Amino acid sequence: MSINIRTYMANLIAGRAIIGGLYDAVNNARRVCSLGGNFKYTFSLNGFGTKRYNSCQLIKFDTQALCESLSQIFNNVDNLSNLDLMVVILLKGRTEIRNLYCSFFKAENARANAKILCYTFCNPYPGFVDLDKNCLRLSANGVITLFNQSQNIRFNPIILFPIH
């Protein structure tokens, strides 16, 4: 069953604190490790559980997300819990998801300066998450409206990436 792309985007926006926190934790882990320190991060995802990760685990997952395709990640799924798998999947989609989060500030800036903004969101997991459209183009007002509507939504990680 396909998911409406606007619903999918709104869900990603609703999970911005959780997902963005993970991305920041990976960045902190890399920074702290480069200085010879250790970093711990507790990640919790409704329906998947809570786990405390150290910097080495976060960096390993990040490297896996950067170096492997989604198919390869799923071929190695035996070594990962569902929560670990969700961490790797979220890291795999980081560029597209971060661009979505940044689009709000770009849209506000464009509207404030009477400039035109055309933002395109594309499915970060094509072939794995069935959306009704692979990409959606929005104007500045469309982006701002979507972000405002997302404030009333509770993040649902199952919609993000249905793991069977």
Q: How far is CA 133 from CA 11, 86, 100, 123, in A?
A: 16, 23, 16, 8
149/6 Cα distance (integer angstroms): 10
pLDDT tens, position by position, 56-80: 999 999 999 999 998 898 887 777 7
State the residue for tokens 């999947």.
89
Q: What is the pLDDT of residue 164?
A: 46
**Which pair of tokens denotes residue 131?**
């959306």
**Which pair of tokens denotes residue 114?**
């009477």
Contact 136, 9 (CB under 8 A): yes
Contact 47, 154 (CB under 8 A): no
70/47 Cα distance (integer angstroms): 21
Q: What is the pLDDT of residue 81?
A: 85
**Any alpha helices (H) in 15-154, and if so which ranges?**
16-34, 55-67, 70-75, 82-92, 94-112, 140-150
This model's pTM is above 0.85: yes
Q: What is the pLDDT of residue 115?
A: 92
Task: Point out the residues of the chain with pLDDT beneath 50.
Answer: 164
The closest alpha carbon to 105, from 150, 140, 64, 77, belongs to: 140
